[in-house]
Amino acid sequence: MQGDFLPISKADMNRRGWDELDVLLVSADAYVDHPSFACALLGRLLEKHGYRVGIIAQPDWKNAGSLKVMGKPRLCCMISGGNIDSMVAHYTSTRKKRSSDQYSPGGKAGFRPDRPTIVYSNLARQAFGDVPIIIGGIEASLRRLAHYDYWQDLVRKSILQDSKADLLVYGMGELQTIEIADRLAKGEDISQLHDIQGTCFSLSEKEFGSGACLAFEPVTLPSFEEVSQRDKVSNTPTPDGQNAYAKAFNIQMMHENPFEKKCLIQASNGRIIVQNPPARPLKENEFDSLYELPFQRMWHPVYDKDGGIPAISEVQFSITSNRGCYGGCSFCAITNHQGRIIQTRSLESLVREAKTLTRHKDFKGYINDLGGPTANFQCPACEKQLTKGPCSNRQCMFPTPCPNVRDSHMQYIRKLEAVASVPGVKKVFIRSGIRFDYLMLCADEKTRRLFIEKLVRNHVSGQLKVAPEHICNSVLQCMGKSPVEVYDSFREAYFEENRRQGKKQFIIPYLIAAHPGSTLDDAIELALYMRKQGFVPDQVQEFYPTPATVSTCMYYTGLDPRPGENFRKVFVPKGREANLQRALLQFNKRENRPLVLEALRKANRQDLAKVLLPR
């Protein structure tokens, strides 16, 4: 019965003639059978490998019986907190509760708890006793070691300890998921699965002391107790604790290589957390086959009465062509989750998927996106990465592009043209983000001109979204971004090409307020820059300290942990200062006038009041 939705009930199992599941997947998201939703993708992959798999989406977290609707799974229970971090899904950057949830029925909030990976894991232990529990997904992946938690404003220990799971899968998880299932099916105990790359596990001090449980050479991180030190009187982080945290983060960044056979170990509350090296990158044929599994590309019909699941709208008719990112943005967790080595699909596979989309009853001829985390990264940064992995002591694009970085814009152009030529496809847009610095600094002039010409002619729907993030180079340095001059050169080339083609298409820049390193003077300069460009954003992104990013480490420690930065001190705007910087990004809103005036007074720039404030 491949091609139908995966089972979500005992009745579904009966229709397939199953008396039990091999693997139960539990997700904090509603069940959408589309490759952009990890639970569906891993479920389909397990199905392809012959496993009987079922999905329980958004169970009642107050009732262990909600996990028993399809019985006890034979091999294991795999748990995910969903496609995005649950705390980000529930709270704004100012810690205010959100009123909606795009991954829930009808877009309504309240279908899942805070920190569902922990809640569901404890629920599964109540429901199934000794059945192996494996956690994964973005929530587990970014909390695999001791991490700063913005919502509680303290360092939390590994999610492995709070969830009491047997194994943690980090990264995208396909290779680990199948290896775990295969080995459990052969009769191996979960305690024997300590040699799988892309996983973490916990050991007692006695087990660790025996040395028999490690499959890779250990590298020691500062302990949880060291990185979480707080002053007993003020209950604020101590300088020693902040220094230890930055050091631990630095070591983690130095060991992001799947070809380096080393594991990270961190002592924590009498246990030892072990992080094995990352999983290897997928081969092209493996990546192709994933996205050609028999997805329904729709939410499960059980949600029809609620109006469906809003999150599918942006991705239903989009095509993933690559994963991973070597851009090195400090505020982004993609590198930590997907890795720095770009993995790509073949042109032929992309064309086959486009043909599949044209047969969908709701397809109107428009492919909303062809890309990935960074659309124009269409090959690994350099040949070396394919056998040696990424460099540990420098980034590929920052502070300047490495001389070995390869240009892949022609590969991307060929893929765009091939998909656009599929009968029934009217237009292919690029919405997943273009690294303009990669285009302007790594492509030769002929390729650069050709790409911009085709971009403007064929792949922009009125406005192009790009991410300069800021315009002050000192802030951009903290962000891991190229100097503003690079953005200005791209912007000029883009508008010049629009004029040449007789078009009037716009640029919508993503900007971040109050990022570590940004002073009030920097925020004022950004406001003046926007005024000069005649653009003020409708929506403002205030820096959000999410787990496992460089920027969050800066926010918590006031130090730059990146290799080569020598733990230099970084100014961190917080509280009122952050509010003022955010207001300056929307200086033309009348409700922001008091904050803008306060910011100008504080910076001794009252002379700018007539320039920035509406009359």
pLDDT digits over 253-282, tens only?
999 999 999 999 999 999 999 999 999 999
Domain count for the chain: 3
The model's pTM is: 0.95
Instruction: Give the model's confidence band at 211: pLDDT under 50 very low, under 70 low, under 90 confident, else very high.
Output: low
| Percent of the chain topping pLDDT 90 | 92
Please identify, among 221, 241, 275, the residue that sits at the C-terminal boundary of a domain: 275
Residues 543 and 590 in one domain: yes
Give the mean model confidence (pLDDT) for residues 413-435: 95
Would you say residue 53 has pLDDT above 80?
A: yes
Instruction: Give the model's confidence band at 2: pLDDT under 50 very low, under 70 low, under 90 confident, else very high.
Output: very low
Instruction: Give the model's confidence band at 614: pLDDT under 50 very low, under 70 low, under 90 confident, else very high.
Output: confident
Residues 99 and 197 in one domain: yes
Give the mean model confidence (pLDDT) for residues 577-606: 94
CA distance 507 to 522: 22
Please identify, among 250, 275, 300, the residue that sits at the C-terminal boundary of a domain: 275
Q: What CATH number corresponds to the domain at position 517?
A: 3.30.750.200
**What is the domain range of residue 481?**
463-615
Q: Which of 285-289, 422-426, 537-541, 573-577 is the least confident region?
A: 537-541
Structure tokens at 335: 């590198």
Residues 141 and 227 in one domain: yes
pLDDT tens digits, 314-358: 899 999 999 999 999 999 999 999 999 999 999 999 999 999 999
Residue 228 lies inside a defined structural domain of this protein: yes
Cα Rg of the chain (Å, integer): 24
Residue 281 lies inside a defined structural domain of this protein: no
Residues 433 and 543 in one domain: no
pLDDT tens digits, 585-599: 999 898 999 999 999
Residue 207 lies inside a defined structural domain of this protein: yes
What pLDDT is attached to residue 325?
A: 95
Mean pLDDT of all residues in the chain? 95
pLDDT tens digits, 441-500: 999 999 999 999 999 999 998 999 999 999 999 999 999 999 999 999 999 999 999 999
With DSSP H G I counted as helix, E B as strand and the rest as coil, what are the percentages for the chain, rounded to 5?
40, 15, 45
Residues 84 and 99 in one domain: yes
Please identify, among 442, 461, 480, the residue that sits at the C-terminal boundary of a domain: 461
SS3 labels along 387-448: CCCCCCCCCCCCCCCCCCCCCCHHHHHHHHHHHHCCCCCCEECCCCCCCHHHHHHHCCHHHH
Hey, which bits of 70-224 come out as E strands?
Answer: 76-80, 133-136, 147-149, 154-156, 167-169, 199-204, 217-220
What pLDDT is attached to residue 540?
A: 80
What pLDDT is attached to residue 56?
A: 98
What pLDDT is attached to residue 432?
A: 82
Helices 174-185 and 38-48, packing angle to 10 deg? 40
Residues 453 and 560 in one domain: no
Query: Is the backbone peptide bond immediately before 399 cis, with ω within 30 degrees of 0?
Result: yes
Phi first, then psi: what are they for 425, rounded to 5°? -95, 120
Looking at per-residue pLDDT, the higher value among 313 and 210 belongs to 313
Give the mean model confidence (pLDDT) for residues 48-64: 96
Give the mean model confidence (pLDDT) for residues 25-32: 98
Residues 242 and 374 in one domain: no
Residues 417 and 532 in one domain: no
Angle at 455 between CA 452 and CA 459, to 5 degrees: 175
Residues 434 and 577 in one domain: no
What pLDDT is attached to residue 615?
A: 67
Would you say residue 229 has pLDDT above 90?
A: yes
Instruction: Give the model's confidence band at 50: pLDDT under 50 very low, under 70 low, under 90 confident, else very high.
Output: very high
| Percent of the chain topping pLDDT 70 | 99
What pLDDT is attached to residue 128?
A: 96
Would you say residue 97 has pLDDT above 90?
A: yes
Residue 391 lies inside a defined structural domain of this protein: yes
Would you say residue 1 has pLDDT above 50?
A: no
Residue 284 lies inside a defined structural domain of this protein: no
Q: What CATH number corresponds to the domain at position 363?
A: 3.30.750.210
